Structure 1
Amino acid sequence: MAALTAAAEAFARPWYAEAGRTYHTAEHVQAMLGALRSRGVLTAPLELAAWGHDLIYDPRAADNEARSAAVFCAWLAAQGAPPALSAQVHALILATRHAEPPATREEALFVDADLAVLGADPATFAAYDHAIRAEYAHVPDGAYRIGRSAVLRHFLERQPLYTTPEFAALDAPARVNLRRALARLAPAD
């Protein structure tokens, strides 16, 4: 499995180096892997899904996760990966749509790792927030404020924000970060 995960990284890195990406890069993948590894829960399917989850990132599109899952799982099949592994990775990638609660513990860990940046120290969160704005540079300020506020409120309203014990400690700092970011996005009176 180590050879497959190494090949996945080699396959994925060029996608993450595409122009216009400032947050959805290989550094984001490495941060997810580090978050899972430091908590002792990194598995081969999680590592594969991390490399595949943001292969396609178009800030104008709403189907990035589905397209990423399709491309990455087609690549997995071409490598001879077992269909069950490919299906598992596919489900993990789709879980990062954050549209519904994770269906399995592994999905919950993966979603929590994807959102770990929300509970980062203030400087790391600010860099993330700035990088997201750069990825959406094509969106006028007023529209960005409205859209970004909705996204941040969605995460702030989740109870709990992190669903696994391994990431639960990030809940309080994430809520502080989210509230500060929402305050910055509020229109000036």
Structure 2
Amino acid sequence: MTDSAHSRLRTRWHTALVAARGGAEEPDPLPYADNLLARWAEPQRRYHTTAHLAAVLDRVDTLAGHAADPDAVRLAAWFHDAVYRPDRSENEERSAVLAERALPEAGVPSAVTTEVARLVRLTVTHDPAEGDANGEVLCDADLAVLASGPKEYAEYAAQVREEYAFVPDEAFREGRAAVLRQLLGLPALFRTPHGVAEWEPRARQNLMTELELLSGM
């Protein structure tokens, strides 16, 4: 990540955190940003990197008008993969617990902290309840990569494989195909009006194409 990209992310964290705590500038938001950015830059990551974080934040901004509390969603985006080890389970739960520990220390009200942790846990299933506007925004923002152009989607799929390099090829193909079939089996991948209109058709085509490629290997 370049220095300018790092600086922009620190600024985005500062803005979201200060807004979530009602405009208070203390305690200093930036040490929390640096801790999170260090997590997102860990060497085992190939897809779940600071680039993914920035992309999810961009998509949250696109969908912000649909959210009940956009700043809580932005904080949830920061935490949703803050703990990430592809060889371990419960990454989402560990990330939610991190939010529950860090946000009160950072001066965030308890109600906002609870909402952020709830949203992080929701990324296990990406299946928000009807009317859960904040959940719809976060889940759509996280899954929007599925609607990338062909080159970008191929890069995403390759990065996912790199994160699971410790898994033998056949086992990875079986596991990845199961994930793709589960996603394709959902009534809808996206819940926000923008996601349904702009991302759903291309995402389904990308998933079907990847599944066909895996099946032909």
- TM-score scaled to structure 1, two decimals? 0.93
TM-aligned CA distance change 1:60 to 1:31, over 3 Å: same
Which residue of 2 is the match for residue 112 of structure 1? 140
Q: Which residue of 1 aligns with 2:211?
A: 182
Indicate the residue corresponding to 2:22 in structure 1.
Answer: none
Matched, 1:19 2:35: no
User: Which residue is 2:128 aligned to?
Assistant: 102
Q: Which residue of 1 aligns with 2:101?
A: 74
Question: What does the per-residue CA deviation read over 1:137-158, in whole Å, with 9 as the maximum and x for residues that have no partner?
Answer: 0000000000000111111111
Q: Which moved more, 1:59-68 or 1:4-13?
A: 4-13
1:2 aligns to what?
15
- Distance in 2 separating the partners of 1:40 and 1:143: 39
Residue 132 (structure 1) aligned with residue 160 (structure 2): yes
Cα deviation, residue 40, structure 1: 4.0
Distance 2:146 2:125 in 1: 14
1:48 aligned partner: 75
- Alpha-carbon distance in 2 for matches of 1:91, 1:4: 17
Q: CA deviation at 1:3?
A: 6.6
Count of matched residue positions in the alignment of Structure 1 and Structure 2 = 187
SS in 1 for 2:193: coil
SS in 2 for 1:33: helix
Segment drifting more, 31-40 vs 60-69: 31-40
Pairwise CA distance, 1:38: 2.5
SS at match of 1:31: helix
Q: Deviations over 1:94-141 (max 9, x none)?
A: 111016x21311101110110000011111111110000000000000
Q: Which runs of 5+ in 2 are unaligned?
A: 1-13, 19-28
Q: Do the aligned partners of residues 40 and 71 (structure 1) sit closer, same or farther apart at CA in structure 2, a change above 3 Å counting?
A: closer
How large is the Cα RMSD of the aligned pairs? 1.7
Aligned mate of 2:195, from 167, 174, 187? 167
Task: Please say if residues 64 and 137 of structure 2, whose CA atoms lie closer than 8 Å, have aligned partners that are also in contact.
Answer: no
Matched, 1:89 2:89: no
Distance in 2 separating the partners of 1:108 and 1:28: 18
Letter in 2 for 1:44: D
* Percent pairwise identity: 36
- Structure number with greater Rg is 2
56, 64, 84: which one aligns with 1:57: 84
Report the Cα offset of residue 187 of structure 1.
4.5
Amino acid at match of 1:65: E
Structure 1 segments unaligned to the other structure (5+ residues): none
